[in-house]
Amino acid sequence: MIVLTLPYPLSANRYWRPVKLGAHISIVPTKEAKAFRADIAARCRDQGVRVPLAGRVHIDVKLYPARPQDWQRRMRVDGAAWDDTVRCIDIDNANKVLLDALKDVAIEDDKWVRRLTSERMEPDGEARVVVTITSMPVAQPQADLLGEAA
């Protein structure tokens, strides 16, 4: 299992950009995306990741938006739902950007992600994301499906 605390992800709109190649349009990473990937790779190395996990993985994402300066006022006014008004990247966009940045660093490829769970957390300070990556064993097929006697 790998547990990483990483910087808050870029918006997908800032991560990819369209490029026209003749009659074809390709989507390519921006310079900002390349810098983000390099930062993620460095932080993964700093946190002990030397080689990507091979094979099937479960990735759990905990997204912590930045806590605004007026969080106490929001809490008094809105109670338990105070963080619903805090600006936060969409979870699906965060996942796509994170999986792309973790490819060849902490995981071999996002094609090996068999389970992905994500949760937007209550802001408790600095914006960040906590990613837990767990290897998933390959389940053995049922013997009767292979025509073998049980």
Check whether 148 has a pLDDT greater than 70.
no
Confidence at residue 44, expressed as pLDDT on a 0 to 100 scale: 96
- The Cα-based distances of 130 to 76, 85, 110, 149 in angstroms read 28, 21, 17, 46
- SS3 call for 81: helix
pLDDT tens for each residue of 72-122: 999 999 998 999 989 999 999 999 999 999 999 999 999 999 999 999 999
d(CA 150, CA 44): 45
> Is the distance from CB of 118 to CB of 95 less than 8 angstroms?
yes
Look up residue 57 and give its two tokens: 């993985």
User: How many domains does the chain fold into?
Assistant: 1
CATH of the domain at 93: 3.30.1330.70
Confidence at residue 70, expressed as pLDDT on a 0 to 100 scale: 92
Q: pTM value?
A: 0.84
pLDDT tens for each residue of 30-79: 999 999 999 999 999 999 999 999 999 999 999 999 999 999 999 999 99
User: 55: left (phi > 0), else alpha (psi -120 to 50), else beta?
Assistant: left
Q: Report if residue 120 sits inside a domain.
A: yes
